[in-house]
Each structure stands twice: as structure tokens, then as C-alpha cells.
Amino acid sequence: MTGFADRASEFRPSPVRTVFETALDPAVVSLAGGNPDLSLLPGGSIADLASSLLADRGPEILQYGSGAGTESLRALVVELMARRGSAITQAEVQPLAGSQAGLDLVTKLYCNPRDVVLAEGPTYVGALGVFGSYEVEVRHVDIDREGLDPDEVARALDQLAAEGRRVPFLYTVPTHQNPTGVTLPAERRRALVEVCASRGVLVVEDDPYGMLGFDRSAAAAPTLHSLDPENVIHLGSASKIFSPGLRVGWAVAPAQVRARMQIAAEAVLIHPSVLSQELTVAWLGSPQWPVVLDETIALYRERAEAATAALAAHLGDRAEWTEPSGGFFTWVRFPGTELGDILRRGIAEGVVIVPGAACYADGRSSDAVRVAYSGVSPERIDEGIRRLTAAVR
Amino acid sequence: MTGFADRASEFRPSPVRTVFETALDPAVVSLAGGNPDLSLLPGGSIADLASSLLADRGPEILQYGSGAGTESLRALVVELMARRGSAITQAEVQPLAGSQAGLDLVTKLYCNPRDVVLAEGPTYVGALGVFGSYEVEVRHVDIDREGLDPDEVARALDQLAAEGRRVPFLYTVPTHQNPTGVTLPAERRRALVEVCASRGVLVVEDDPYGMLGFDRSAAAAPTLHSLDPENVIHLGSASKIFSPGLRVGWAVAPAQVRARMQIAAEAVLIHPSVLSQELTVAWLGSPQWPVVLDETIALYRERAEAATAALAAHLGDRAEWTEPSGGFFTWVRFPGTELGDILRRGIAEGVVIVPGAACYADGRSSDAVRVAYSGVSPERIDEGIRRLTAAVR
């Protein structure tokens, strides 16, 4: 049979994946996957919404849709972005089958093989798979408890320019970051978009957790997009505020770029599921949604507190961890400890986490792990951290 | 802002697309889009199926699913393939968000820029967009009323080998072809898979119309996959036998290749919509489905007959056309006539079709058009052909 293309060497099963599959035993506490908690969703109401959509508009919902997405989803995204401080029009909204598809598209549109993408260190594991699939090199800029330092980003970009490398964009999750849970403050946001714009480098703002902040009294940091709409592509998602199973996300980009994204997206998918788009609009437009979302955020906050309390109780000063501002994750470092194959040792103790090394493209070792508390009860979180402690010892 | 990647030049709006958008006027007869007719689908029953799925299994349906698709969809595909003569296991089935996604994946996995893909002349317009997005060159092998001539394929492959070109695969729609409606006979199928296998060239069999044959008494031609499962990747779809809006399709490939496809697919989409997959399984597993499918095929057959009758009545011996064996299309040639900008002239007369030239990658002019009868009543088909006649005159 024909041999694979050069890029296919990037599509190998990872050791992490292989181990995950052996860790589906319910006795194992999974602090690995970034799953939303769906227990507060009213199943009956959502079933009724889907039933009404299909009964009233079946021939339209089931027929081919537009590559530009549904008008109602574009309108919803305009509203959601307005709440985040970005005034946009529907011509800037590209509905997609999940925001991962948006990351795939911007990489496809902007990156040649051997280009360099700048990303946080550590960054979202799934982004590394996308960059690899386009044979793009990733350089990390280490983050602190306030995310990226714009001066460090400037230094990295200048260094890459001196090396003659092409850097199409910076990839960042500035709000309740994956995997650390930290949020970039407003001041750094302004400096960051300025650093990138002045060097002709696009910013890709991945924002799945932006609406999941714990501190309701604090003013949310403005989106990077709101600070420089001409040089920031914003990726949004319904996966963490409603349902990941439906695969609904979107990109917000200057109208000309969005039009190009649509053509590239159509070659892959024709269009995203119309039923998924319309069911998302129906639920996010219902009066129940904000209530359920608030309750669910309270649940995540309680779990974040359970995680940090368990870390303090079991690990004390042997580890340090981030205090999540929102979202699903805390990042736990064990300074001076050789973690080695922590994933496999954790599973032996009955807990599964994402090893820090998986959040870097360059194969470096890491003294950290990502703990996802979003889908686990406080009691199980405590038990999971206890087992993690045993695995590290 | 950053410049685009080299491949992005492939993502330009096509003239065909631009014209289509101006042709949404309901007074225009559209013989352009390959839309299934959904009028016989019982909207209430499908609404009930969706409602039951969400009410009974909401937390599972709405949560992240597996990149390997749902177990029930894989089982359904095993059954569907058995009816087509292919004995496979679930390890060979990769569920996807439409079969277009499968074509994107095989191109991503097998093709380097400047590789050559062999395809029918004419071929499916949407496939050309995929090949372009990977900077792959397409060479056409002209087809006759029985599809590809295996000897011509052999000659083309030998010629390309002599030119030193890498040819990862042959792309073909062997059954009720898009855009011609012709079907490759069993004898040619056997010769075709042999020609490709002996030259180390993979076969990609795109089969969205395979279950939509008009002649129920004739034995269906075996799938290419059933003739050489190790060297044929088969792409299937629920779009023409149920709903395109849900975006459900699949690839069937040797287990090792399928595993690689899953990893590449996850980087783009994580997984296809769980609700779409399960609703497809629920409908195709219901006792109503085969009845509705049979009635819908009868509708397509009636429309195919209306199209050929209208062509005979309005065009007589000024044109020649294929007699579709099934599916959605007939291919109408006007030998010796310069069609020029037939798309725009058709719209001026109130009919929209796909100009033949759009079905070739090499920009050649064509004396043909594709007529899609699947979504249009016999009366409108007759009126559309009358207008087409005026446009050609």
C-alpha cells in the first residue's frame, strides 16, 4: 500500500493516550480530563428543546446548512462577545464544530512547515497536536502566576527574528488558563497585544473558560480581541458552558479573514451540525441557562477549593500550586523532585493526572502535573490527591 | 497582520460560489445542489428519537465522546457494509463528521505537496477543494458510460511513474457517480483494484450514493473495498440516506490505518457530535427507515426519469446525457457547442446548474453541465431544463 505523507509521522499514538485507555477503571480517580460537569443540566428541558426544533423545523435542521453557520448562532456569538467587551458584527463570526477546529484552521491558514508558533509554557496539550500536524515548531515562553510576561514574549520574538524564523502567531489561553488556571491581568493584556502587533505577529486567543470565573465581584479582564480586533483571532466554545458532545465552537476574526476561514472549513466539513448549532442557541437563549451556569460555576469553585485544600493537607510545603481564578485546572509543582513516569506511578496508586511534560512541545522534563477538578466530587478530589501524594513519594 | 501560509492561496472564493449566492431567489429553479429530499422523513418520529436519547442518556450524549466514535455507530457501519458485501470488524470503522472529513483525512495522511491524485474526469467538485488545500495536483482519467476504464488508469499511472511523480491514491466514486450518475460494472471493478494494487497505489472509494440504486432487481456491484480490503479506503455517509445537516459519515480502512486516522481526526475535531451519531443510529435502526428509504429512492427514480424525459423533449438530438443508475445526477453534454459562461446565462434564464468545467481541476473548458434532480419536483425539473435549453441556445 502507498506510504504515508511526511506529516503523518506526527500522528502516532502518544504514551499518554495509551495509558489513559488502560485507566478507565471506575476505581481509579481521574483528575486528568477537562470534562465539564453536566449534572445540573435539566435533561428533560434540553430533550424538549431538541424535540421542538426537529418537530417544527425538521426539514431545515436535517438538510444541508450554510458553511457560514446558522444565522442564529452567529447572532448569539455577537451577544456573548458583547458581554466580554468586544463589539463585533456577524460578518466576523465563523461557527465551527468546536474551537479545536478553529485552532486547526488558523494553523492551516497561517503556518507553513517549519514556521514557529509561540505558546505559553506550559500550554494546552491538544494545541500541540494541531501544531505538530502542520509540521510547525513550538517555542514556549514560561509563564508565572499572572500568565505571560509581555517582555519575555518580546524577547522571544526578537530572538526568533534574529534567527530568521517566521512566526505567524502567538497562541495563548489568557483567561483561566489550561493547564494552570491563571489569568493574565489587564495591564499585561494591553502590553501583550502591543508587543505582537508591533512585530507583525498575530495573536490567537483561545477562550473556552472565559465565562467561568470564580470571583463574580471582580471585573473580568477584557478579551485580547477587544484590545486589538484587527490583530487577534478569538476562539470560543460551547463545550464548557453547555455541552462538548455537540461540538459547537466559533472563531471571531476580521471579516476578510473569516471569509477565508469559511472556505477552508468547508473543504473539511461542509458545515457544522445544524442541530448542534440550533440546540446550543436554544439552550443558551433559554431563561434557565444563566441560572444553571451560575450554579455550575459555584460547583467548580467549590471543587477548586477542595483541590487546593487537599493539596495543602496532603502535601503541605512539599509542593506548590496555582490558585485557579476560574476554569477547570490547577498546576501542581514539586520543586526539586524527579517525577519520572508519574503518570504510570499515579495509575498504580489509583489516580490519573496529566504529567506536566505533556504540556510542552519540546520533550523537556517537568516537575509538575495538571490536576483537573472540574468533573470530580470534593471527596474524590481529596482521595485523588492523597493517591497522588503516594505516587510522588 | 501576519501573512497567510502558501496553501492559503487555494482558499479563494470560487466564481461558482459567488454566483450561487446570488441565485437563492425562489423563482430560480436550482438543479445545482446535490440535496437529498427529506419530505418523506417523519419529523415527529425523529423528534421523538432525539428527545428519548437526551432524556434517557443526556449526560452521556452531551459529554465528551470518544475519538473512535460511538460503539453503536461503528456497529451500524459494520452492518451496512455487510449488505454491500464487505465483511469488516469495528476496528476498521472510523466515524467522522461527514465523509468529506474522510477525504480530508486520507489526503492529509497520504499526500505531500506536489503529489498527484488520480481522479475521474469529471469528478466531485468538493474533492477538488480538498486536494487543493493540500497543494496536491489532480490528473483526470476521462470516464465513459461505464465509468473508469482500468486500462486508461493503468496507462495514466505508468505515465506518471515515468515522469517520476508520486501518486498516493486514486480517488473514485464508482457507484451512481457524482457528477455523471454512472456506475462501474463488476468486471471493471476487479480490473481496477488489480491495476492499482499492482502499482502500489491506494484506492479511495467515495460511496455516498451506493445504497440509492434505481434497479432493485439488478445485483448491486460489489464495493471496491470488498474486492481488496487491504488496499481500498471506503468512505460512507449518512447524508444521502438520512440527513446531511447532522454531519455523520465514516471511513472504513485497515485497522492500523484507521487508528492513525483517529489521531489525525482528533487533532481537528476531538470527535464527531455524539447526538448526531446516536440519532443516526436510532433512525437507521428503526423499522421505519427501510420503508422511507425505499419510498425516497422511488422519488429519485421518478425525478431521474423526469429529467431525461425533459432533456429529450426540449433538447432532442442537440445534447446527450447519461441515464443515471441511481443517485442524484445526470451529466448533459452539448457536443460542438461552446457553453462559455453557461452558469451566468442559466441564471439569467432562471435556472442554476453546475458547469462541467467546475468538475475538473485543470481549468479545461467543458461542453457539459451537471443536472441535479434529487431535490426538485418533476414539474420544476421540466421547467428548469426548458430554461437551460434557452440558456444554451
Query: B78 pLDDT exceeds 90?
Result: yes
CATH of domain B6-40+290-392: 3.90.1150.10
Intra-chain end-to-end CA distance of chain B, in Å: 49
Q: pLDDT at position A338, please?
A: 81
Q: What is the mean pLDDT of residues A168-173?
A: 98
Q: How far is CA A59 from CA A63, A64, B35, B245, in A?
A: 6, 10, 11, 9
Nearest CA in chain A to B273: A246
Calculate mean pLDDT across residues B184-201.
97
Residues of B in contact with A110 (CB under 8 A): 2-5, 8
pLDDT at B11: 83
- Under CATH, which number does the domain B46-284 receive? 3.40.640.10
Q: Is the interface score ipTM higher than 0.90?
A: yes
Q: What is the 3-state secondary structure (H, E, C) of chain A?
A: CCCCCHHHHHCCCCHHHHHHHCCCCCCCEECCCCCCCCCCCCHHHHHHHHHHHHHHHHHHHHCCCCCCCCHHHHHHHHHHHHHCCCCCCHHHEEEECCHHHHHHHHHHHHCCCCCEEEEEECCCHHHHHHHHHCCCEEEEEECECCECCHHHHHHHHHHHHHCCCCCCEEEECCCCCCCCCCCCCHHHHHHHHHHHHHCCCEEEEECCCCCCECCCCCCCCCCHHHHCCCCEEEEEECCCCCCCCCCCEEEECCHHHHHHHHHHHHHHHCCCCHHHHHHHHHHHCCCHHHHHHHHHHHHHHHHHHHHHHHHHHHHHHHCEECCCCECCEEEEECCCCCCCCHHHHHHHHCEECEEHHHHCCCCCCCCEEEEECCCCCHHHHHHHHHHHHHHHC
Q: Dump pLDDT digits (tens) for B131-179.
A: 999 999 999 999 999 999 999 999 999 999 999 999 999 999 999 999 9
Query: Bridge-partner residues for A127, per DSSP?
Result: none
Calpha distance A2→B139 (Å, rounded) = 17
pLDDT at A19: 65
DSSP bridge pairs for B33: none
- Taking only the tens place, the pLDDT of each residue in A49-65 is 999 999 999 999 999 99
**Dist. CA A177–CA A148, nearest whole Å:** 11
Residue A108 has pLDDT above 80, yes or no: yes
Contact B109 A273 (CB under 8 A): no
DSSP-based three-state secondary structure for B265: helix
Nearest residue of chain B to residue A65 (CA atoms)? B245
The confidence band for B215, taking pLDDT boundaries of 50, 70 and 90, is confident
Q: What are the backbone angles phi and psi of residue B43, rounded to the nearest 5°?
A: -55, -40
Pick the CATH number of A63-284 from 3.40.50.720, 3.40.470.10, 1.10.3720.10, 3.40.640.10: 3.40.640.10
d(CA A121, CA A116): 14
How many A/B residue pairs have CB atoms within 8 Å?
Answer: 260
Instruction: Dump pLDDT digits (tens) for B282-329.
Output: 999 999 999 999 999 999 999 999 999 999 999 988 999 999 999 999
pLDDT at B393 over 90: no
* pLDDT score recorded for residue B20: 66
Distance CA A293, CA A212 (A): 9
Residue B23 pLDDT greater than 80, yes or no:
no
Percent of chain A with pLDDT over 90: 87
User: At residue B3, does pLDDT exceed 90?
Assistant: no
Contacts of B231 in chain A (CB under 8 A): 1
Report pLDDT for A299: 97
Question: By the CB < 8 Å criterion, does B108 face chain A?
Answer: yes
Is the Cβ pair A63, B276 closer than 8 Å? no
Is the per-residue pLDDT at A216 higher than 80? no
Would you state the pLDDT for residue B26?
A: 83
Phi, psi torsion values for A89, nearest 5 degrees: -115, 170
**Chain mean pLDDT for chain B:** 94
- How do residues B239-293 score in pLDDT, each as one tens digit? 999 999 999 999 999 999 999 999 999 999 999 999 999 999 999 999 999 999 9
Residues of A in contact with B1 (CB under 8 A): 200, 202, 230-231, 254
What pLDDT is recorded for position A365? 85
Per-residue pLDDT, averaged over A198-205, amounts to 98
Q: What is the pLDDT of residue B52?
A: 97
Among A5, A8, A245, the residue with its CB nearest the CB of B274 is A245
Q: To the nearest whole angstrom, how far is the Cα of A45 from the nearest Cα of chain B?
A: 8
Cβ–Cβ contact A35 with B under 8 A: yes
- The region of weakest confidence among A67-81, B160-174, B330-344 is B330-344
Of A202, A259, A273, the CB nearest to B273: A273
Report the C-alpha gap between A37 and A34 in whole angstroms.
10
Q: What is the pLDDT of residue B12?
A: 73
pLDDT band at A16 (very low <50, low <70, confident <90, very high): low
- Residue B15's pLDDT band (cuts 50, 70, 90): low
Give the mean model confidence (pLDDT) for residues B340-363.
92
pLDDT in tens, A62-72: 999 999 999 99
Max Cα–Cα distance, chain A, nearest Å: 62
Chain A: residue nearest B262 by CA?
A11
pLDDT at position A22 is: 63
pLDDT in the model for residue B159: 98
In which band, very low, low, confident or very high, does the pLDDT at B217 lie, cut at 50, 70 and 90?
low
Q: Sort out which chain A residues have CB atoms less than 8 A from B117's CB and list them.
A: none
User: What totals of helices (H) and strands (E) does chain B contain, helices first?
Assistant: 13, 13
A239-272 confidence digits (pLDDT tens)? 999 999 999 999 999 999 999 999 999 999 999 9
CB contact under 8 A, A245 and B64: yes
Strand A329-333's sheet: what is its strand order? A320-321, A329-333, A368-372, A354-355
pLDDT for residue A201 is more than 80: yes
Dihedral sign of CA atoms B247, B252, B255, B258 in order: negative
Angle subtended at Cα A250 by Cα A246 and Cα A255, rounded to the nearest 5 degrees: 155
Confidence of residue B346 (pLDDT cuts 50, 70, 90): very high
Mean pLDDT of A92-110: 97
Specify whether the backbone of B69 is left (phi greater than 0), alpha (psi in -120 to 50) or beta: left
Q: Is the pLDDT of residue B233 over 80?
A: yes
Sign of the torsion angle spanned by Cα atoms A382, B57, B88, A5: negative
> Which segments of chain B belong to CATH 3.90.1150.10?
6-40+290-392
Average per-residue pLDDT for chain A = 94
Provide, rounded to the nearest whole percent, the portion of chain A with pLDDT above 70.
Answer: 96
pLDDT tier at A23 (50, 70, 90 boundaries)?
Answer: low
What residues of A are in contact with residue B111 (Cβ under 8 Å)?
A: 5
Helix axes A186-198, A150-162, angle to 10 degrees: 20
Verify whether the Cβ–Cβ distance B245 to A104 is below 8 Å: no
Please give the class, per CATH, of domain A6-41+290-392: alpha beta
Q: d(Cα B209, Cα B7) in Å, to the nearest integer?
A: 31
C-alpha cell read off for B85: 458485501
> Which of B144, B128, B125, B126 shows the shortest CA–CA distance to B136?
B128
